Structure 1
Amino acid sequence: MKTETLGLKFDWITILIFFALVTIGWVNIYSASYQDGAKGIFDFSQAYGKQLLWICLSLILIVFVLALDSKFYERYSGLIYIISLVSLLGLYIFGNEVNGAKSWYLIGPASIQPSEFAKAATALAIASYASEIQTDLTHFKDQLKAFFILALPAIFIIPQPDPGSALIYAAFIFPLYREGLHFVYLLLGFFAAALFVGTLAIGVAWVALIVLIIAGISYYRKRKKRGALFKFGTIAFACIAFAFSVNYIFENVFEQRHRDRFNIVLGKETDNKGIGYNTNQSEIAIGSGGWTGKGWTEGTQTKGNFVPEQHTDYIFSTVGEEFGFLGSVGVVFLFIFLIVRILVLAERQKSQFARVYGYSVAAIIFFHFFVNIGMVTGLFPTVGIPLPFFSYGGSGLWGFTILLFIFIRLDAANYYYT
């Protein structure tokens, strides 16, 4: 389904889903931040009033993004990427510290978080690189360059400290896999995560024993093949060495608040009145919603401010309490529909640049959506990853808007509909 705008055909379905998510997000921000005595929806002293202003301004941003020639994004992708890196580095000199993180520029009454815009810039850069090499990412040299493009913004973001925003760059493994990156990288990522969590949960000794057993069984099955002992021995050694490094990384790289959150999720600590308070209250709010919820602005956990900063990272708990299981499923369905739609459009692109960028957009939105829902429901540690188009924040809304509508603009130029 297409609509004619500025002489081009834009995907109306994707645009409608975007506006649906933004509207539902604002409705829940209103409920989570409304205070008695407020002057109305245009009360800019309230979070919902500020968010409404950001939404209105995003309409101007959308027109600007769609008005630019699609070739602009490909031609200047490198420059956009460099500007984003400079903006991240500039935080260490000119940044404003909020909640212990130097992640924002203070511009008049507004705060701008450059890491939210760096995701789109990195997606453009990786799409440009993949299209320039003209081959699949099967050569190790090409893979290293791609990983370097992804690593730079993450490295600049981690010391702010903002590990949640840096973690998002792991999502780019999926568009790279689509472009020929070997499946072994996905397996390595999965096993590294499993080893990390497993070591924290049951200890190095048990993990080492499990690795040796698996390696032994694998060798026994492949023992007749040349080099099998060396192959499985090397893998086992690498896994055990990584397991021994986990405790050092956990104790010396992670901050105490991050260690506490991991320990709570793993069941090693219980702190429902301290570091685990937000997650515990979020679970209570979601659970109290039942099938159909308590009704808009009627959530007792929400109105009682039992979930701190509920209008930001924990906004989904408002959905669960006030709109219940059915409302939560509806929101989840909308996100899945959007992601699938982007992937379908990406596969139709005649330009590799547009295809890679489309996969990057889908991966970033999915990663945010998946981790945030897991965080709010207590399945994952709290890492400060917002829910796209839902969580309060002008930088987040603008960042995701730019990310999505650049792809809509590329799609209009690179896929010809009959």
Structure 2
Amino acid sequence: MNNQRSFFFNVDWLTILIYLCLCTIGWFNIHAAVFDETHPQIIDLDTEYGKQFIFIISAVVLGAVILLLDSRFFNGLAPVFYVVTVLLLIAVLVVGRNVGGNQAWIPLGSFRLQPSEFAKFSTCLLLARYLSGVNIRITEPKSFFTAAAIIALPMFLIMMQPDTGSTLVFCSFIFILYREGLSPIFLIAAGLAITLFILALLVNEWYIIGALAAVAGAILFFIRRTPQTVITIVAVLAICIAFIFVIKPLYAHFPSHQKARIDELLGITSDKRGIGYNVNQSKIAIGSGKLWGKGYLEGTQTKYSFVPAQSTDFIFCTIGEEWGFAGSVVVIGLYMFLLMRIIMMAERQRSPFSRVYGYGVASIIFFHVIINIGMTVGLVPVIGIPLPFISYGGSSLWSFTILLFILIKLDSNRLGHIL
């Protein structure tokens, strides 16, 4: 009896409440996005919002089951979850259904299972298990490359589908490695590479090289010049110059649709009726909502289906149009609050496994939210990833539910045994 009471009070019910709020917001906006007057019922299993209602109920049940399991179950079976999802990722390449150019779904009757969604939490579990092992130091080459291999295997299989969006989500695990002691030079190098990539597409490479040389010269002028620092700065400059000269040849081999999306985003080309149609209509929808929105089921961009994939990848523009700036701020605020709760839970763990896993949860959700909302407002290329707990889809909702509720379960046991 005391254990039951202890469990009840240790569960982070506030995080569960945020989860339920996001799921409810998602259901109402899916209803608005696909509403058909010939199907006016709130629960109609022939519609996406009817199916999403079932997905939400089953997800809540799934979350409750996770809370009833022993915390050690997730650590012990992490390799099993990982192997199963890897096998599913291989299977989808053989028997998967091609939807929108991606062979990412396994048909199961009227339902389609997307293994890449479940690979996120299984990879997070195995990475947490490995990094929490005895004598594992991410600063050591063996530990670093083993962790990188755990992340890279599902990335490679998902890229084979090809599903660029889901592949890039796994890059967010670098934040786990950074939290566990990886040198910040990797994050700086990644940021510099992205910056140089964008500049090389917009500016003549010789201007960039001149600017880099000037920065390097200024650094050498103001710091103490030792042979080691001079060699380091010159080496970094040489690597940057070499990288600049390979960007355009490398970019030429990008898939044409990805190049078109990047060119549209950077303003190199403008095709509002072609590759830029989705984003342009999404921005129109969000902007037309103004401060308070047009009202539930009153969005014209939504009602007349101007935005493709509006119940999935572009669900945020429904929020912007019908609930306005105020509604958008509420949704973003809920995500920020959720991420703060997750990081707080991760930091208060006594178990290294739970801490690493918590940062994995935060990294995945943060990446999804930033990229999904960013692409609906034209700040990042369209790569097709769902908005957590809000976008339509059973695989997405279930995988995010499992991801979050495992952390809630681990947190509820933070004062108990050390995993």
Q: Tell me the TM-score normalized by structure 2.
A: 0.95
Tell me if structure 1 keeps the 8 A contact 2:136–2:143. Answer: no
Confirm whether residue 22 of structure 1 aligns to residue 5 of structure 2: no
In the alignment, the residues of structure 2 paired with residue 329 and residue 271 of structure 1 have an alpha-carbon distance, to the nearest angstrom, of: 30
In the alignment, the residues of structure 2 paired with residue 367 and residue 387 of structure 1 have an alpha-carbon distance, to the nearest angstrom, of: 10
Q: What's the counterpart of residue 131 of structure 1?
A: 132
Equivalences for residues 150-189 of structure 1 within 5 A: 150-189=151-190
Tell me if structure 2 keeps the 8 A contact 1:91–1:105. Answer: yes
Q: What's the counterpart of residue 405 of structure 2?
A: 405
Q: What's the counterpart of residue 390 of structure 1?
A: 390
Please list the CA deviations of residues 297-343 of structure 1 after superposition, one character each: whole Å capped at 9, or x if unmatched.
Answer: 10111101111111111100011111111110000000000000010
CA distance 1:145–1:251, shift in 2 (3 Å): same
CA distance 1:343–1:6, shift in 2 (3 Å): closer
Aligned-pair CA distance for 1:218? 2.2
Aligned-pair CA distance for 1:345? 0.9
Q: What's the counterpart of residue 150 of structure 2?
A: 149
Equivalences for residues 19-418 of structure 1 within 5 A: 19-222=20-223, 224-252=225-253, 254-415=254-415
CA distance 1:7–1:335, shift in 2 (3 Å): closer
Tell me if structure 2 keeps the 8 A contact 1:348–1:415. Answer: no
Aligned-pair CA distance for 1:204? 2.8
Please list the CA deviations of residues 342-377 of structure 1 after superposition, one character each: whole Å capped at 9, or x if unmatched.
Answer: 100111101000001001101110110011111000
Please list the CA deviations of residues 119-143 of structure 1 after superposition, one character each: whole Å capped at 9, or x if unmatched.
Answer: 0001101101110144542223211
Please list the CA deviations of residues 201-245 of structure 1 after superposition, one character each: whole Å capped at 9, or x if unmatched.
Answer: 224333222222222222333462123332112111111222222
Aligned-pair CA distance for 1:64? 2.3
In the alignment, the residues of structure 2 paired with residue 411 and residue 37 of structure 1 have an alpha-carbon distance, to the nearest angstrom, of: 46
Tell me if structure 1 keeps the 8 A contact 2:104–2:161. Answer: yes
Please list the CA deviations of residues 1-55 of structure 1 after superposition, one character each: whole Å capped at 9, or x if unmatched.
Answer: xx95976731100000000000001100000001111051221221111111111
Partner letter of residue 57 of structure 1? Answer: S
Q: Which segments of 5 or more consecutive residues in structure 2 lack a partner in the other structure?
A: none
Q: Tell me the TM-score normalized by structure 1.
A: 0.95
Tell me if structure 2 keeps the 8 A contact 1:288–1:321. Answer: yes
Q: Number of paired residues?
A: 413
In the alignment, the residues of structure 1 paired with residue 137 and residue 181 of structure 2 have an alpha-carbon distance, to the nearest angstrom, of: 5
Partner letter of residue 289 of structure 1? Answer: G
Tell me if structure 1 keeps the 8 A contact 2:220–2:230. Answer: yes
CA distance 1:187–1:278, shift in 2 (3 Å): same
In the alignment, the residues of structure 2 paired with residue 50 and residue 62 of structure 1 have an alpha-carbon distance, to the nearest angstrom, of: 18
SS in 1 for 2:33: helix
In the alignment, the residues of structure 1 paired with residue 328 and residue 128 of structure 2 have an alpha-carbon distance, to the nearest angstrom, of: 33
Tell me if structure 1 keeps the 8 A contact 2:176–2:356. Answer: yes
CA distance 1:92–1:198, shift in 2 (3 Å): same
In the alignment, the residues of structure 2 paired with residue 415 and residue 263 of structure 1 have an alpha-carbon distance, to the nearest angstrom, of: 52
Partner letter of residue 243 of structure 1? Answer: I
Tell me if structure 1 keeps the 8 A contact 2:75–2:129. Answer: yes
In the alignment, the residues of structure 1 paired with residue 5 and residue 368 of structure 2 have an alpha-carbon distance, to the nearest angstrom, of: 31
In the alignment, the residues of structure 2 paired with residue 401 and residue 347 of structure 1 have an alpha-carbon distance, to the nearest angstrom, of: 21
Tell me if structure 2 keeps the 8 A contact 1:281–1:306. Answer: yes
In the alignment, the residues of structure 2 paired with residue 144 and residue 115 of structure 1 have an alpha-carbon distance, to the nearest angstrom, of: 22
| Structure 1, 58-67 or 402-411: larger mean CA deviation | 58-67
Please list the CA deviations of residues 61-93 of structure 1 after superposition, one character each: whole Å capped at 9, or x if unmatched.
Answer: 112222221101101111211211111111111
Please list the CA deviations of residues 350-406 of structure 1 after superposition, one character each: whole Å capped at 9, or x if unmatched.
Answer: 100000100110111011001111100011110112110011111110110010001
Please list the CA deviations of residues 157-199 of structure 1 after superposition, one character each: whole Å capped at 9, or x if unmatched.
Answer: 1121111101111111112111111111111111111111121
Please list the CA deviations of residues 259-295 of structure 1 after superposition, one character each: whole Å capped at 9, or x if unmatched.
Answer: 1110011011111101100100000000001110010
In the alignment, the residues of structure 2 paired with residue 4 and residue 290 of structure 1 have an alpha-carbon distance, to the nearest angstrom, of: 47
Tell me if structure 2 keeps the 8 A contact 1:4–1:10. Answer: no
CA distance 1:415–1:249, shift in 2 (3 Å): farther
In the alignment, the residues of structure 2 paired with residue 36 and residue 374 of structure 1 have an alpha-carbon distance, to the nearest angstrom, of: 31
Task: Give RMSD over aligned pairs.
Answer: 1.6
CA distance 1:160–1:274, shift in 2 (3 Å): same
Tell me if structure 1 keeps the 8 A contact 2:7–2:412. Answer: no
Partner letter of residue 93 of structure 1? Answer: V
Percentage of matched positions with identical amino acids: 44
Tell me if structure 2 keeps the 8 A contact 1:115–1:157. Answer: yes
SS in 2 for 1:274: coil
Tell me if structure 2 keeps the 8 A contact 1:312–1:392. Answer: yes
In the alignment, the residues of structure 2 paired with residue 224 and residue 185 of structure 1 have an alpha-carbon distance, to the nearest angstrom, of: 24
Partner letter of residue 160 of structure 1? Answer: Q
Tell me if structure 1 keeps the 8 A contact 2:139–2:183. Answer: yes
In the alignment, the residues of structure 2 paired with residue 317 and residue 4 of structure 1 have an alpha-carbon distance, to the nearest angstrom, of: 43
CA distance 1:165–1:4, shift in 2 (3 Å): farther
In the alignment, the residues of structure 2 paired with residue 112 and residue 8 of structure 1 have an alpha-carbon distance, to the nearest angstrom, of: 35
